[in-house]
Structure formats: C-alpha cells, structure tokens
Amino acid sequence: MVERQKTIKTEILLVLGVSLGYSAVYSLVDLIGKLTAHTALSSQTTTLNPSEALGHPWLDLVFQVVRIFFGLIPAILALHLLKRGGGANQMGFRTRRIGFDIRWGLGLASAIGVPGLLLYLGSRAIGINTTVVPEALPSLWWTVPVLLLSAVQNAFLEEVVVVGYLTVRLREISLSLPMVIAASALLRGAYHLYQGFGGFIGNALMGVVFAFFFIRFKRVNPLIVAHAILDSLTFVGYALLRGHLSVLGV
C-alpha cells in the first residue's frame, strides 16, 4: 500500500511536470518578470493565440496544428496511466449521457462566463492584471477553425489533467476532499498567473466549482464542454469583433 502511494505520487509529479505543472512554474516566473518591469501590470499585454510565422500563412497554420496536437498528449498520457491502473472509468467517459453533459456544460459556462468577465475588468481597473488579447492570428480562412480547435484542446487538456486525473489520483493516496479541491483549484489558478493576479483568482474560483462538480457527479465531459464554450466564445468573439471592443480596453 505504501509503495503504491509512492508510485502514484511520483506519477502525479511526472504528469504535471510535462504539462500544467510546468506551465504553473513558467507562469510564476513570467509574472515575476512582469512585476519587475518598468511598466505597470495593467499596462502590459498578454496574447493567448499568437501567430507563429507572420507573413507565412501556410507555415503558421502548420505551427498552429502541431501546437494543438501535441497539446493533447499530456491528457492522453494521463488517461492511459489511469486506464492501466483501473481508474479511467472514474472519469465517466464510458457512460453515454450526452444530454446531461451538454446541459450542464452550457449551465456551467453561463454561470462562470459573465462573473469571469466582470472579475477580469475589475482586476484590470485596480491594476492587478494585464490586458489579455485572446488571439493575434492573421485574418485567414483557417483562423476561426484553428481558434475553435485551440479552445477544445485547452478544455480537454485542463479538465482531464487538472480535474479528472488529479482528483482520481489524489483520492487514491487518501487526500481529503477539501484538500483535493484546493489542490486542483490552486493549480488551475497558478498556470494562469502569466495573466496577472486577476487571472489567478478567477481561474482558482472556477477550479473550485469544477472540482466540486466532478467529485459530485464523477463526469469530466460537462467540464470539457463548458471550458470549450468559454474559450471558443472568447477566442472567436474577439477575432470577429476586434476593433469594436474599446469598452474592454482591448
């Protein structure tokens, strides 16, 4: 039993080390850089979906697709490891409840979307967050499809690893439910620190809701749906309305 728990702890560190744990550390370092710059945090910009090859649209497209594809690998690895240990079923993938997943996904997206936007605006107003630019891709035929794929990739990676995988594994090493929820929420907030303190707070609160939902219903699919909806509306909405968002300061 003790040896099994040691193995699980090592596995958790390795999975996070090649995915969102690494992102959390990088985000912390990035935030330190922003805070020590000569420009106020609220005057700095964070771009989420930048162009990878300006002036070379086909090469840019290849870069975007490669980034999205390999961004899925850590989540697939986490699922593989859970399957080998018999824990994959605890994420609810095999139970087909499409209506439930979509209804709850829409509900969660609605409940989080508006408060999240207000928190972002408030945190920028008091100077604790950067200006977040959701995308900076050239306006081409593949821009919207790439942004939608990016939204789905983000959702699948984060909800599988930070909620599903982490919750299952932490429960297997007998961590209490409050500690599991706190760990998942703090990790989610940590890898958004590159946006500023507002990004940390908003995503940590979202993490509490998502972790609690998963523990209650044992289904990660609604969380993927909700996250994909939120990111899709943010990325594509910005791409379509760019130049008309002065009210948001972007």
pLDDT at 243: 65
pLDDT at 241: 84
Q: Which parts of the chain register pLDDT below 70? A: 86-88, 243-250
The H-assigned helical ranges of 18-142 are 20-35, 57-84, 98-125
Which one-letter amino acid corresponds to residue 152?
V
pLDDT at 248: 47
Handedness of CA 165, 166, 168, 173 (dihedral sign): positive
Q: What is the largest CA-CA distance in the chain?
A: 59
B/e letters for 131-167, b = 16+ CB within 10 Å, e = fewer, are bbebbebeeeebbbebbebbbbbbbbbbbbbbbbbbb
- What pLDDT, in 10s, does the model give residues 50-72? 999 988 999 999 999 999 999 99
pLDDT at 247: 44
In angstroms, the CA 110 to CA 114 distance is: 7
Q: State phi, psi for 85 to the nearest 5 degrees.
A: -95, 5
Helix axes 197-217, 98-125, angle to 10 degrees: 160
Helix (H) or strand (E) run with residue 166 in it: helix 166-172
Total of domains in the chain = 1
pLDDT at 91: 80
List the domain range (segments joined by +) for residue 51: 2-248
pTM: 0.93
